[in-house]
Structures are given as C-alpha cells and as structure tokens.
Amino acid sequence: MKITVFGTGYVGLVTGICLAEIGHDVVCVDTNADKINMIKQGKSPIYERGLDELLTKNLAAKKIVFTTDTIMGIDHGDYLFIAVGTPSSGDGSADLQYVYTVARDIGQNLKRHAVVINKSTVPVGTGDKVKAIIQKELDKRQVDIGFDVVSNPEFLKQGDAVQDFMKSDRIIIGAENDEVFKKMCNLYESLPTKIVLMDVHSAELSKYAANAFLATKISFINEIAQFAEKFDADVEKVREGIGSDSRIGYNFLQAGCGYGGSCFPKDVSALVWMAREYGLESPLFNAVENINLRQKHLVFNRLKKYFTDLEGKVIALWGLSFKPNTDDMRDAPSKVLLESLWRVGAKVQAFDPVAMDEAERIYGKRNDFKLCKTKEEALDNADVLVIVTEWDDFRKPDFELIKTKLQRPVIFDGRNLFSPNQMKDLGIEYYCIGRKKS
C-alpha cells in the first residue's frame, strides 16, 4: 500500500520504517532538511535499538523514501499519517500548530481520496478539527474529493520502539465507518496484534488515559515512598508485596526521582489543561503532576541538605536521558538537577551511555559541565556520585573504585539501584528513595 508519514521524529521515523519493513511503499516527509539529509544517508537522528539496520535495509530496497517535499508526500500516499510533534504550550495545553499545518497542506494539495491518520497524541476533538480544516481547504479549491480522518494513537516505548511496533499489545483505531476500519485493518494485516476498533473521540482519549494511568502509578509509588521514609519501611518491599497482586502488577511501580520524557509530562499537563478548559474537576491529575515535580527536585534538595553550601562542589552524575535505552532528554529529571546545581555554583561531571551528544546540543560547552567518556572518568575528584537514570551499565559498578575516586564515599541514587545493606557493608553512605535505613 502507498503510505506517507509526516514527521520523522521518534514516532514518525519508527512508523515509516516499520511500515516499509512489513511491505508497504513509504514516503516520509519532514520540514527539517538536516534531519532528512541525515536519514537519507542511512543515519538515524535518534537512538533506537534496531532502527538503523531496518533503515539501511529498506532504503537499499527502495521501500522507503525521505523528502522535505510535502506535495510529493501528499501525491504519493493513499494513507497519510500525521506524526508531528504536539509539544506542551506554556499553559499546559497541547500545541497543535504542526498537526494543523499538515492538515492544511493536505487540504490544499489532495488530488484523490485518502485516509488521513492521526498518530500524534492530540486532545479529544482534534480529529474533528483536522477534518474541518481539510474540508475548508478543499472547499476553497472547489473540488469534491473524499477523505476520511482516523485516530490511530501510538503506544510505542522509546528504547523498544521497533519491537513495540512489530509486536504491540494492541493497535487502536478510531474511525467513523466500517469501510475505513476495513482499510486500516488491511494496512496492519501482517502484524500479529489485537486491533481494537472504536470511535475517534474514544481513540484520542485512550492515548491520554494510557499515559495518565502509567504516570499515576509512578506518582503513586513515589507518594508511598514518602510514607516509607517517614515510618522506616522499605518501598521496594512494598512494591514486591503489592506488585505480586495480579490486579496491580510490578510495572511502573519503581520509586525514584520522577518521570520525564516527551510524553508523560506533557500528556498529564494536557489533561489538567483540558479539565480546566472544559470546567471539569480533576484533582487526580493535578496531584500526579505535583508529586512528579517534587520528585524531580528531591535529589537536589537532598544534596543541598547534605552539603548546606554546594558552591564549588563537584558532582559526578551518571545518567542524562530520561530513561535507559534512549538519548531523549526531553523533560528529563537530569535537567532539573543540572540546572539547580549550576544555579548554586556546583560543577557536574556527567556520563550517559548514549545521551552525551544530546546533552551537548542542549547545553553547549560550559565550564561547570564536563561530559566524560566513561562513567569512571566522571568520578575523578568528584565529591559525591549521583545516579538519575537506571541504565544497566550502572547496576554493577566497581564500588571499590567509586570509593577510591570520590572525595567522600557517598552515593545519591535517584533510581534505587543498590541495596542499602550492601552499601553499608561497603562503607558507602547511601541516599536512595523510600528504602529502609540499614
């Protein structure tokens, strides 16, 4: 089938490449010429396991083409995917300008029937607006071309995006009639996945509901961690205790220094905004957001308490990406920590397995920020070690080396990677989140 994907970010690039991999004929359009040039050369601008190989393979097989030419994209596809960004505006609402631009472009240039599929995460009712925008542009051109608008929200996890696309738990399709459902099912026919059909509004809301639920689980366990600290209980034991209940499960119940990334923070904010805008009371999502903000400041507050004055202190930081297996630092807890430390005159020596370039892109070169080649180099003459991302590489470090290199044998662990008892035995002062004092 002929498919066009607008946007080659985490979602668009993975969607385009995976659709080519399952046999479709794909054109990917992005307004960012640098990005498109890089991808054309077989280099993925994002770190995503397995993506480079599939990109090279499908470029060579001519199953996928990358362009900045929007009209070429619209001419190509019978299925037009919108996978552009919907970042948070200042007031928490989703900024839909990129989605609407693509909709306008489609209306202005469509020459035959197409199914317009929204993969971006958008507030309920956006599909209706996309439909109205396209129709308005078609009316201006005085042409009678049919089109359908579908909501097909994306649930991939960064770091496992290719695997998630190829073997997702479900594909949600929100559409208005059976004919479109059939077309969409044919499109995904070769994927071994359950397809859930519903109306467009329910599909749009499903995406927010999924992210808000997972964010709520994280804030919930972080709230429990606070109780655990107060009453000298162990949040990891509590997790084991409640996670074994099949109604609850273990996932997204790790206490820590907060969730980040391009989705949970902005999608919870968008729900808070939607509630405000439409006169709903939504104390739950406000609380989820506030708890997360508190958690993101927790490590810094503990460092401040420990040192009183952080000016001139050197902090070794392990982890920059918002979670392991991605280079994405959008809304990452590391950014809150870095910026807080710099504000009070501390220096940071950081290491991350893949997000070093991204950190340099965001912050540039600074005297108070050293990007180190290894996690061991980050320890050199640092006062203490702080961990904010749970990369596997950090789970079994050489503790003797840590003790030798640090000025003080102290670890502030925002991800609860080690056991407090083990740290005590090793003679390391260990500050983690919600664990029982040893």
Q: Measured from the CB of residue 419, what is the shortest distance to ligand NAD in angstroms?
A: 31
Q: Measured from the CB of residue 339, what is the shortest distance to ligand NAD in angstroms?
A: 21
- What is the rounded CA–CA span in Å between residue 136 and residue 14? 31
Nearer to ligand NAD, 10 or 273 (CB): 10
Q: Which of 1, 2, 32, 49 binds ligand NAD (CB under 6 A)?
A: 32
Given a contact cutoff of 8 angstroms between Cβ atoms, the answer to whether 15 and 5 are in contact is: yes
12 binds ligand NAD (CB under 6 A): yes
Q: Measured from the CB of residue 406, what is the shortest distance to ligand NAD in angstroms?
A: 35
Q: Measured from the CB of residue 334, what is the shortest distance to ligand NAD in angstroms?
A: 17
Nearer to ligand NAD, 47 or 98 (CB): 98
11 binds ligand NAD (CB under 6 A): yes
Q: Which of 18, 21, 24, 35 binds ligand NAD (CB under 6 A)?
A: 35
Segment interacting with ligand NAD, rule: CB under 6 A, options 23-31, 234-242, 360-368, 413-421: 23-31
Q: Which of 215, 263, 268, 338 binds ligand NAD (CB under 6 A)?
A: 263
Sheet of 384-387, strand order? 369-371, 347-351, 314-318, 384-387, 410-413, 429-431
User: Quick one: CA dihedral 217, 283, 298, 160, positive or negative?
Assistant: positive
Pair of tokens at residue 392: 């596997």
- What is the rounded CA–CA span in Å between residue 149 and residue 254? 38
55 binds ligand NAD (CB under 6 A): no
Kindly provide the residue ranges of all beta strands, DSSP E only, lying in 258-346, ordered along the sequence.
314-318
Nearer to ligand NAD, 174 or 434 (CB): 174
Query: What is the β-pairing status of strands 147-151 and 384-387?
Result: unpaired
Given a contact cutoff of 8 angstroms between Cβ atoms, the answer to whether 261 and 322 are in contact is: yes
Q: Which of 1, 22, 31, 286 binds ligand NAD (CB under 6 A)?
A: 31
- What is the rounded CA–CA span in Å between residue 26 and residue 187? 12
Catalytic option among 18, 28, 257, 263: 263
158 binds ligand NAD (CB under 6 A): yes
Nearer to ligand NAD, 94 or 341 (CB): 94
44 binds ligand NAD (CB under 6 A): no
Q: Measured from the CB of residue 262, what is the shortest distance to ligand NAD in angstroms?
A: 5
Q: How many residues bind ligand NAD (CB under 6 A)?
A: 26
Of the candidates 18, 66, 16, which has an alpha carbon nearest to the alpha carbon of residue 42? 66
Nearer to ligand NAD, 97 or 290 (CB): 97
Q: Measured from the CB of residue 92, what is the shortest distance to ligand NAD in angstroms?
A: 14
- What is the rounded CA–CA span in Å between residue 386 and residue 411? 6
* Helices marked H in 364-436: 399-405, 420-426
Partners of 314 in the β-ladder? 347
* Backbone torsions φ then ψ of 135, nearest 5 degrees: -60, -40
* Backbone torsions φ then ψ of 127, nearest 5 degrees: -60, -40
263 is catalytic: yes
Q: Measured from the CB of residue 391, what is the shortest distance to ligand NAD in angstroms?
A: 18
Q: Measured from the CB of residue 183, what is the shortest distance to ligand NAD in angstroms?
A: 22
- What is the rounded CA–CA span in Å between residue 331 and residue 268? 13
Nearer to ligand NAD, 13 or 402 (CB): 13
240 Cβ neighbours under 8 A, 6+ residues apart: none
CA distances from 11 to 79, 118, 207, 389 (A): 16, 11, 14, 22
Sheet of 170-174, strand order? 64-67, 25-29, 2-6, 79-82, 114-118, 147-151, 170-174, 194-198
Q: Which of 4, 7, 317, 397 binds ligand NAD (CB under 6 A)?
A: 7
Q: Is 371 helix (H, G, I), strand (E, B) or coil?
A: strand
Nearer to ligand NAD, 44 or 121 (CB): 121
Nearer to ligand NAD, 262 or 295 (CB): 262
Q: Which of residues 76-135 bind ligand NAD (CB under 6 A)?
A: 83-86, 98, 101-102, 120-121
Minimal CB distance to ligand NAD: which residue? Answer: 9
Segment interacting with ligand NAD, rule: CB under 6 A, options 26-34, 213-221, 292-300, 419-427: 26-34
Residues at the site binding ligand NAD, with contacts judged by CB under 6 A:
6-12, 29-32, 35, 83-86, 98, 101-102, 120-121, 154, 156, 158, 262-263
| Catalytically annotated residues | 263
